[in-house]
Amino acid sequence: MKIILAAPRGFCAGVNMAIDSLDLTLKKFGPPIYVYHEIVHNQFVVKTFREKGAVFVDTIDEVPEGGVLLFSAHGVSPEVRKAAQARKLHALDATCPLVTKVHLEAIKYAKAGYTIILIGHEGHDEVLGTMGEAPEAIVLVEDESDVDRLEFAPGTQLAYLTQTTLSVDDAGRVIRRLRERFPEIHSPPKDDICYATQNRQEAVKLLREDADIIVVLGSQNSSNSQRLRELAAEQGKRAMLVDGPQDLAVDQFSDDDRVLITAGASAPESVVQATIDWLKENFDASVDTQVVREEDVQFPLPKALRAFAAEQAAAK
């Protein structure tokens, strides 16, 4: 068996920052630390933090007054921030700056009187947060058929934004349809689909040709991981999205398979390595790492944690 190990894969700068933030918040304040939504959409990460005293909530009411609350990487609406304030919570924010960028674009367009078409997945944490910035000005579309159903009064100024973790190809098709229907539509100068999403998809596209089967590490509720699985399966290849080797069965593979392994932006490298070890044990696999693009992006911690992080680093 040959394993083709895709790079880049796994944790992005936003996820690294969010995970470090939760780690430091737990150390600084002690458990329980409440987290609004899963810190990232990964079962292994969520379970590990639960064991350390993190409590994941979907409503602010679940947090006792005065509790310490961290907003997840996917961002929150102003309404959630206000509810946290009203409950006198000590709130910290691990929203990825690239998600915040989309929030700021939404605010800017809404203030200028635009109607915003947000391309994204209904009910997704990030979409809920972004739409909350200007609920009266934002319309959500998921695909081209949604675009076909849009109707606006003559003279409506339009702009589009996207969720950060979409399929580049699917979003491109929706944008083409938007431009066909509304040639005057505005958009930000730079893509909202983030660098990490784009790079992980690019790697799968380039490397899938040489594989018989593709294993994407990530959880089922991780949008960017699902998009990698879809891309992997596009040419009729066998492709699966799994949390780790516990989800694999020996009869899914054979000795001469070429297995492409990648991981979504929220999947830890430890689950990638555990999967490789499992394949090595069962199929005597060798590993060939293929670097498609270098990444060196880093995001700063939330301001409220920086001094503590420096103290922790100095004490080591």
Q: How far is the CB of 229 from ligand 0K2 (least distance, A)?
A: 12
CA 119/CA 164 separation, integer angstroms: 10
Please state, as a whole number, how many other Cβ atoms lie within 10 Å of the Cβ of residue 312.
14
> Who contacts 61 (Cβ-Cβ below 8 Å, separation ≥6)?
87
Minimum CB distance to ligand 0K2 smaller for 34 or for 253: 34
Which string of x and - marks every residue 157-176 that binds ligand SF4 (by CB under 6 A)?
Answer: -------xx-----------
Q: How far is the CB of 201 from ligand SF4 (least distance, A)?
A: 11
Partner in contact with 13, chosen from ligand 0K2, ligand SF4, none, beta carbon below 5 to 8 Å by kind: ligand SF4
What b/e string do you get for 165-196 counting C-beta neighbours within 10 Å, with b at 16 or more? bbbbebbeebbebbeeebeebebbeebbbbbb
Partner in contact with 222, chosen from ligand SF4, ligand 0K2, none, beta carbon below 5 to 8 Å by kind: ligand 0K2
State the number of binding residues for ligand SF4 (CB under 6 A): 15
Number of alpha carbons in the 13 Å side-chain half-sphere of residue 276: 18
Residue 131 in tokens:
């739409």
Out of 41, 103, 177, 229, name the contact with ligand 0K2 by CB under 6 A: 41
Residues 133-192 close enough to bind ligand 0K2 by CB under 6 A: 164-165
Please name which of 220, 293, 228, 223 lies closest in space to residue 260, comparing C-alpha atoms.
228
Return the bridge partners of 93, or none. Answer: 71
267 is a site residue for ligand SF4 (CB under 6 A)? no
From the list 65, 105, 122, 126, the catalytic residue is 126
Categorise residue 140: left if φ over 0, alpha if ψ from -120 to 50, beta otherwise: beta
Which listed range, 94-102, 129-137, 181-189, 201-209, lies at the site for ligand SF4 (CB under 6 A)? 94-102
Q: Which residues bind ligand 0K2 (CB under 6 A)?
A: 14-15, 40-41, 73-74, 96, 99, 126, 164-165, 222-225, 264-266
| Catalytic center residues | 126
